[in-house]
Amino acid sequence: MTKITQNTVPYSNISYGTEPTKMVRFMRRCFIIQVFNFFKLNLKVMRIVVGGHS
């Protein structure tokens, strides 16, 4: 999303975090992939919620 100076300072906390590539950023907003993810994640959540109590 943004670059801040400390991102590249060796041994700083923030320098160890991973960052998404352009492809990952594209996929995060790709309509078709996200529609698929929307249904897949909703199903997963529903299954977890319903299965979590009796």
CB of 19 to other proteins, least distance (A): 6
Nearest to 27 by CA among 36, 15, 18: 36
H or E stretch at 50: helix 31-51
- Residue 43 makes contact with other proteins by CB under 8 A: no
CA 31 to chain centroid, in Å, comes to 15
- Compute the distance between CA of residue 44 and CA of residue 17 in angstroms, rounded to an integer: 28
Binding mask 2-41 for other proteins (x = CB under 8 A): xxx-xx-----xx-xxxxx------xxx-x-xxxxxx--x
Residues making contact with other proteins (CB under 8 A): 1-4, 6-7, 13-14, 16-20, 27-29, 31, 33-38, 41-42, 44-46, 48-54
